[in-house]
């Protein structure tokens, strides 16, 4: 799982914040840091396409690219968590520590998310 740089993360937050396909200009206008050049945002969006974080398609007239996330924020976070888990020498110990640190509501959500028998 690729991690995201600061500008990549900001751009993904913009894309995750809408269900619409966005142009580069729309992304630039929605970024909280207004100092980003159009060409910089375009370059980063194209990098995110190559990393499979973002999909793109041409608009109706075929002249402008529009962008949207390839997956939701939750999918990205879950993949980061799995990548972090793979870094430990003892996955079961790490999972146990994690399980003891969640709230009762989060623990119940984990129980509900597990298939019958606890394995997938």
The rounded percent of the chain whose pLDDT value lies above 90 is 57
pLDDT digits (tens, 9 = 90+) for 71-88: 999 998 888 888 888 888
User: Which residues have C-beta within 8 Å of that of residue 110, sequence separation ≥ 6?
Assistant: 99, 102
Instruction: Give 89's pLDDT tier (boundaries 50, 70, 90).
Output: confident
Q: Are 96 and 90 in contact (CB under 8 A)?
A: no
Instruction: Give 40's pLDDT tier (boundaries 50, 70, 90).
Output: very high
Please report which helix (H) or strand (E) contains residue 105, including its range: helix 104-113
pLDDT score at 119: 55
pLDDT score at 10: 94
Calculate mean pLDDT across residues 47-55: 95
Q: Cα separations (Å) of 113 from 5, 93, 106?
A: 30, 20, 10
């Amino acid at each position: 799982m690729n991690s995201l740089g600061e500008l990549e993360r900001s751009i993904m937050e913009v894309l995750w914040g809408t269900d619409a396909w966005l142009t580069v200009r729309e992304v630039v206008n929605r970024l909280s840091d207004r100092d980003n050049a159009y060409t910089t945002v375009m370059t980063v969006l194209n990098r995110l396409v190559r990393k499979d974080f973002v999909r793109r398609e041409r608009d109706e007239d075929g002249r402008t690219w529009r962008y949207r996330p390839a997956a939701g924020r939750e999918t990205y976070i879950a993949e980061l968590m799995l990548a972090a888990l793979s870094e430990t020498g003892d996955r079961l110990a790490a999972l146990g520590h994690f399980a003891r640190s969640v709230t009762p509501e989060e623990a119940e959500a984990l129980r509900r998310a597990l298939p019958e028998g606890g394995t997938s």
